[in-house]
Structure 1
């Protein structure tokens, strides 16, 4: 598969080495281009380049545009496919998403053609999107910017039991086929309250994995993803909480730690947030009422 690369290595155990092979997760750049404007005066703009694991490239591009507030409905997209410079290539059949093909540079550029009537804020795009961890603006500005583009929220009624919550990491791991081969990919899973896996994606970048998942659900007209929980195989950053918010997700759980700004997003927009989800423990950073089956062992709540 194009998402996995076999290489020769020396495996050392103690002081003895053995020549063998190892499977690595492929990492390649993906450029996302945007086509926009009236029918007779179309423009093309390169809006982002991300390092990703090939496969589900169209979903990744669409998910990026959704979570950055550029598009809001599947009808905003008129055409979707691979492009190289000025040569337009129509998308392949649905089963061919570039995941099992030999390396082809032309498959490292995806162009999303917007419908002619879609209004586009070039000022927003020219800011290079505020949602990168190294954007250099303060947390307050990030939250204000997010508030201006996030879709309408309804009351969060999602609830999940602690017992089901504990079972999610192993269910996600079982579904990670490429991780099981390489050990080098982030995985994200979308679950319902009963712990059933709705969707799963992998990538060398955790933000790319989330974009692939949300993009795929968006193209199936499943967004907003209310009454679902997003499980992250790593940590929870501001960027990932922002993507969950834009996808309408009710709860985020991470195997690793959340950042301070991620917690602020969860509290401001009422997204239940769990971190350090392991075999027998987890931390609730927001939304205790959304997790059933927990018995408090202290009488007073700290302020």
Structure 2
């Protein structure tokens, strides 16, 4: 099985002094995901948690909704000409009775890049396949304080073990509304890190993640918002900017979306009802002053 990191020789220049040394890099290898033996998608990922990655990917595509939907997940032997196992091909076998989606070229383009359909079609696809509604929760809905949100990025960074050695990994983490770290995964791709989180939750019977906060390093794309919605996660926060389509999806589905979460600053793009907002006077933010979704 592939390693998470690899060593490479590097020529280093520091203040005019030249030296050579080994450097630790994050590993990147392709993973082919098969469904009942048929190729479905290929993603570039950091080896590790491959079964969870495949399961989480299928949750985001509406194929899986619980651990009982999976018969087994295996690495495919004989993936190369000499019959050796590269551990870069995973086959997910569905349990009897679970519908097998129509695997087409158009579907592969959409699932791997999210650019195969226009914005409206993308929103419609998520709305029609989502198993859990985020906009139908009442008084039991989660609420966070800005102070709790502000502390999450530092907690995520402290939990990134491989990032500290390489500086080249994205991360995604699940937190409780009180800021307790539940799980964290690292990968060269933010979407893979989220899939690993969701896949682990599925295999442990924890879906939907209706009381969890998802934090991602970098920006919040439509694809990441989609994965949150499909896993039943009501709150997505990112340390950088969201895309316009991610904001549209959040507003459409009831997902709370926060961007530019840095220090004590943040922008709320949708779902501000899940944040305990206060004015300078200490009162709740007036409805007219609340950010538009």
Same fold (TM over 0.5): yes
**Alignment partner, residue 22 of structure 2:** 21
Q: Which residue, out of 105, 119, 141, partners 1:139?
A: 119
Task: Give yes or no for contact 1:189–1:230 (8 Å, CA) kept in 2.
Answer: yes
Distance 1:125 1:148, change over 3 A: farther
> Aligned to 2:191, what secondary structure does the other structure show?
helix
Aligned to 2:107: 127
For 1:107 and 1:85, the matched residues in 2 are separated by 10
Q: 2:185 aligns with which of 185, 189, 201?
A: 201
Which ranges of structure 2 fall in alignment gaps of 5 or more residues? Answer: none
Deviations 1:260-285 (A, max 9, x none): 00000110011111000001211000
Deviation at 1:294, TM superposition (A): 3.2
- Asked if residue 179 in structure 1 is aligned to residue 163 in structure 2, the reply is yes
Matches of 1:65 and 1:136, distance apart in 2: 18
**Secondary structure, aligned partner of 1:121:** coil
The whole-number CA distance in structure 1 between the counterparts of 2:123 and 2:206 is 26
CA contact (8 A) 1:28 1:54 kept: yes
Match of 2:64 among 58, 68, 71: 71
TM-score (norm 2): 0.89
Distance in 2, Cα, partners of 1:123 & 1:109:
17
Partner of 1:155: 137
Q: Partners in 1 of 2:103 and 2:127 — Cα distance?
A: 17
**Would you say the 8 A contact 2:79–2:86 is kept in 1?**
no
User: How many angstroms apart in 1 are the aligned matches of 2:38 and 2:112?
Assistant: 20
The alpha-carbon distance between structure 1 residues 293 and 152, as it changes in their structure 2 partners (threshold 3 A), is closer
In structure 2, distance between residues paired with 1:255 and 1:114:
36
The normalised TM-score by structure 1 is 0.86
CA-atom RMSD in angstroms: 2.2
Cα distance in 2 for residues equivalent to 1:134 and 1:248: 20
Aligned length: 279
Distance 1:16 1:8, change over 3 A: same
